[in-house]
């Protein structure tokens, strides 16, 4: 193909147990999907799900067994971590039913929805879009994708985040307000899901700020851990 400049390389994430890569299409994120986090953000935890997006090239792959550098972004003085279960879509579709949703999932990964909380709050206060607070470069670190058959019973998995070896977030996936099937059903009514879509499913309570030098370690039982150092 004759292009006026070289196309951007596609964003891919390694898949556990194979040499194959998962090509990323879009990144959808669910807001306030754990009751305790919704409450810490000033809400009841009973609101319907809502969505925002990050660019696909915001992914930072955190390879197992090493500490991956995570650049501290510009413009913020309040960079927050949010540990999240990432759902990787293998089969697309629109208006997917809750019953059918599971069959559209390829696998799962541990992710961080990094957030410039000060900018997000400014935008919220002004009724403006969140993208400067959520969709910045390097805002979507994640670990390798584990195929669902190898992940075990992810709906009851423990999810946790340590900052500098201190436990900051600790919950289980069953605490999700809108579970993965319900989220896929809702999302697919608004957008036609495609193979390669990632869904950051929301974070439990305990979000907070990190600064350069801090180390983040995220774990979800059954999946590959992630470790990153803010630089």
At closest approach, how far in Å is the CB of 134 from Mn ion? 8
At closest approach, how far in Å is the CB of 207 from Mn ion? 8
At closest approach, how far in Å is the CB of 32 from Mn ion? 8
CB under 5 A: which stretch of 149-157, 187-195, 203-211, 219-227 binds Mn ion? Answer: 203-211
CB under 5 A: which stretch of 91-99, 103-111, 197-205, 223-231 binds Mn ion? Answer: 197-205
CA triplet 49, 137, 78: central angle to 5 degrees? 70
Nearer to Mn ion, 21 or 175 (CB): 175
- Selected binder of Mn ion within 160, 201, 203, 224 (CB under 5 A): 203
* Element spanning 120, H or E: helix 117-125
Nearer to Mn ion, 113 or 197 (CB): 113
Nearer to Mn ion, 117 or 147 (CB): 117
| CA pair distance 88, 104, nearest whole angstrom | 9
* Element spanning 172, H or E: strand 166-172
Nearer to Mn ion, 106 or 130 (CB): 130
Phi, psi of 76 (to 5 degrees): -110, 155
Alpha-carbon distances, residue 44 vs 35, 89, 205, 221 (angstroms): 7, 29, 13, 28
The 3-state secondary structure of 153-164 reads CHHHCEEEEEEC
Nearer to Mn ion, 37 or 148 (CB): 37
CB under 5 A: which stretch of 151-159, 176-184, 202-210, 213-221 binds Mn ion? Answer: 202-210
E strands, 2-147, are: 12-14, 21-23, 27-31, 50-54, 59-61, 68-70, 79-81, 83-89, 105-112, 115-116, 140-142, 146-147
Nearer to Mn ion, 113 or 186 (CB): 113
Phi, psi of 131 (to 5 degrees): -60, -30
- Beta-bridged to residue 216, according to DSSP, are 163, 228
First to last CA, the chain: 38
Give residue for tokens 């696998």. Answer: 107
What residues between 60 and 119 interact with Mn ion by CB under 5 A?
A: 82, 113
At closest approach, how far in Å is the CB of 176 from Mn ion? 12
Which residue's CB atom is positioned nearest to Mn ion?
113
- Please count the residues of this chain forming the interface with Mn ion, following the rule CB under 5 A: 3
What residues between 134 and 173 interact with Mn ion by CB under 5 A?
A: none
At closest approach, how far in Å is the CB of 18 from Mn ion? 28
Of the candidates 163, 175, 224, the one whose C-alpha atom is nearest the C-alpha of residue 203 is 175
- Under the binding rule (CB under 5 A), the answer on residue 197 touching Mn ion is no
Q: Which residues bind Mn ion (CB under 5 A)?
A: 82, 113, 203
């Amino acid at each position: 193909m004759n292009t006026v400049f070289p196309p951007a390389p596609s964003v891919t994430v390694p898949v556990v147990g194979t040499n194959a890569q998962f090509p990323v299409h879009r990144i959808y994120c669910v807001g306030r999907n754990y009751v305790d986090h919704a409450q810490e953000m000033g809400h009841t935890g009973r609101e319907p799900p809502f969505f925002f997006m990050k660019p696909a090239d915001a992914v930072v792959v955190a390879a197992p067994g090493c500490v991956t550098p995570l650049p501290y972004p510009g413009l913020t003085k309040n960079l927050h971590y949010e540990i999240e279960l990432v759902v990787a879509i293998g089969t697309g579709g629109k208006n997917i039913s809750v019953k059918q949703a599971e069959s559209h999932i390829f696998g799962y990964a541990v992710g961080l929805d990094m957030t410039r909380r000060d900018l997000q709050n400014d935008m919220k206060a002004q009724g403006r879009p969140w993208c400067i607070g959520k969709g910045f470069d390097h805002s979507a670190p994640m670990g390798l994708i584990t195929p669902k058959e190898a992940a075990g019973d992810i709906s009851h998995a423990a999810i946790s985040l340590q900052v500098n070896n201190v436990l900051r977030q600790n919950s289980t996936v069953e605490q999700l307000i809108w579970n993965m099937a319900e989220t896929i059903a809702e999302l697919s009514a608004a957008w036609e899901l495609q193979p390669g879509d990632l869904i950051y499913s929301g974070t439990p309570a305990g979000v907070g700020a990190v600064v350069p030098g801090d180390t983040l370690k995220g774990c979800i039982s059954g999946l590959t851990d992630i470790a990153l150092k803010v630089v």
